[in-house]
Structure 1
Amino acid sequence: MAIFYSSFYSRIGTTSLLLIFTFQLFMLIYHVGAVNLNQNFDITWGGGRGKITGDVLTLSLDKISGSGFQSKNEYLFGRIDMQLKLVPGNSAGTVTAYYLSSQGPTHDEIDFEFLGNSTGEPYTLHTNIYTQGKGEREQQFRMWFDPTSNFHNYSILWTPQTIVFLVDETPVREFKNMESIGVPFPKHQRMRLYSSLWNADQWATQGGLVKTDWTQAPFTASYRNFNVKGGFLSQLDSTRNQKLNWVRKNHMIYNYCTDTKRFPHGFPPECAITGSG
């Protein structure tokens, strides 16, 4: 069954919220949506370019419009899984966004974005985290496999202690709760799952140098096997830490915590925590 949190949760304190979450660790062993995507998602824009056919959802982009969907339900903590097969061939200029977000000017957001590239070049995995309406926490990675030839699993694990981005069970990024040093952490706002396929050739590929080749349209991304379940992880174990360090060492191409041009007067406080940010 899907998980809904009523407005009651917005009126209670942090301590009570964490106690409720601890209780839910024993209760939230559930799965949703792998059988019927229509029960879990609404196609929200695109003029028919988004479709659900059986157990596969597809989004398409052409020169007129892209497309997108959102979950019917909102979630507060847990693990969100979806298998994606990204736009094949010359996908330069396109962006497939897959993210959790609340609404409003002080919204929270947890982002996967897949930046297309010229045929034969690797996709760029772009990640970001917003808290209280502020992002600017980008990290980017070159994908170490072809994400267009088969479906791969992309997961967001969100607990009161940490946020972990996983690709086929390999952690690519962890953002820990560092409220103790004054870093806001998203834990009060319920979020929906969103995805969209759109044209961003003004910046997406090589800083906008490579434009979308519309002769290749329509561009299509596919989705299946959506799951939500309880998040039991408070920190990464040694094996997952090793995988995370491998990704950071071999595939990270941008980290806001090392961008001196962007932060000439000092990095955000979370950057002082090894492996965080």
Structure 2
Amino acid sequence: MAFSVISVFFLLLGEIFAAENDDIAFDKKYEFIWGNDHILSLNQGRELQLTLDNRSGCKFASYLNYSSGFFHMRMKIPGNNNTAGVVTSFYLMSKASASQHDELDFEFLGNIEGQQITLQTNVFVNGVGDREQRINLWFDPAGNFHDYKIIWNPHQVVFFIDDTPIRVFKNYTNYGVPYPTQPMRIEAALWTADWATFGHKINWTYAPFVAHCQGFDISGCSAQNSDVEECYSSNHWWNNMEYWNLNSTQQKAYENVRKKYMNYDYCDDKAKYPSGLPRECVIQKNGRLHNGQKY
């Protein structure tokens, strides 16, 4: 699938950040959390190799928490023939307890030999998740590095692969829909989950499973150094009006992904919600708002 018709501005922006990412060492922005002996620093700290085996996986996280921003990680996930049960994740998470936390997830769910790798995204607000969307990727995420990005501002959360938007979660608080507002830090991990690949457990004969990460620069408003109002101000480029909604080209690319590659959307899962779909799903399906704009 070709996505060459992306706004010139966003392409230039991506090139600028790619150049910056090459110059930022991991330890300037991030620290190891667990599985330290399963993380190898390469290229003077500008790339990490993450390993999962039957002893341990690993995780790292940003030193700081952020209240808005543009967050991204260049990743190449494990490429063994069978990665069932292997989860490679890049996400934002607040410090609150599991019952109250906010979280924005990219999760690669591994694959059974011969099948595609599924990318799942999820949004938690005040401890409530179950907002999964899943897509079959149009490329091999184990073959090359790709840039996984999240823009989070007071108006919307947008998940991107490279420059293609794959998910939009709008701020519908005026309609009674909770929206993530808690300060969050950036995390990435390589770990196991039996639920990830149709219930198939990990086959350790294919271990070790190896992922790589690059791009450790962070463009975010630090919650430690700023109050919430400052993090929502137009002093930060990601809060400017042009990032309140997708532009027309991005909207077309987003709709194309949903049409061709999405295989699960919680907003279509009526069996999961017998008493009625979540409010944000109803708002979108009824057309009360389209891309954040009133009809």
* Length-normalised TM-score, structure 1: 0.83
Residue matched to 2:218? 228
Residue matched to 1:84? 75
CA contact (8 A) 1:38 1:52 kept: no
C-alpha spacing 1:74/1:34, structure 2 compared with 1 (3 Å): farther
| Per-residue Cα deviation, 1:155-207 (whole angstroms, up to 9, x for no partner) | 001010000000011000000000011001112x211001111111x21112x
Provide the C-alpha distance between the structure 1 equivalents of 2:61 and 2:215, rounded to a whole number of angstroms. Answer: 15
CA contact (8 A) 1:91 1:116 kept: yes
Runs of 5+ in structure 1 lacking a partner? 1-28
Residue matched to 1:239? 249
Q: Determine if the alignment matches structure 1 residue 60 to structure 2 residue 51.
A: yes
Query: Alignment partner of 1:107: what SS?
Result: coil
What is the root-mean-square deviation of aligned Cα atoms in Å?
Answer: 1.7
Q: 1:11-22 residue pairs with structure 2 within 5 A? A: none
Correspondent of 1:145 among 139, 143, 156? 139
Query: Alignment partner of 1:134: what SS?
Result: coil
CA contact (8 A) 1:33 1:39 kept: no
Provide the C-alpha distance between the structure 1 equivalents of 2:135 and 2:86, rounded to a whole number of angstroms. Answer: 17
Query: Alignment partner of 1:99: what SS?
Result: strand
Provide the C-alpha distance between the structure 1 equivalents of 2:114 and 2:217, rounded to a whole number of angstroms. Answer: 31
Greater alpha carbon shift after TM alignment, 44-53 vs 254-263: 44-53
Query: How much does 1:32 deviate?
Result: 7.2
Query: Alignment partner of 1:172: what SS?
Result: strand
Greater alpha carbon shift after TM alignment, 45-54 vs 82-91: 45-54
Q: Stretches of 4+ moved more than 6 A in 1?
A: none
* Length-normalised TM-score, structure 2: 0.78
CA contact (8 A) 2:73 2:90 kept: no
Residue matched to 1:215? 205
Query: How much does 1:227 deviate?
Result: 3.0
Q: Determine if the alignment matches structure 1 residue 44 to structure 2 residue 54.
A: no
Percent identical residues = 41
Provide the C-alpha distance between the structure 2 equivalents of 1:227 and 1:118, rounded to a whole number of angstroms. Answer: 34
For this pair of structures, how many residues does the alignment match? 243
CA contact (8 A) 1:157 1:164 kept: yes
C-alpha spacing 1:235/1:63, structure 2 compared with 1 (3 Å): same
Residue matched to 2:128? 134
Q: Determine if the alignment matches structure 1 residue 267 to structure 2 residue 277.
A: yes
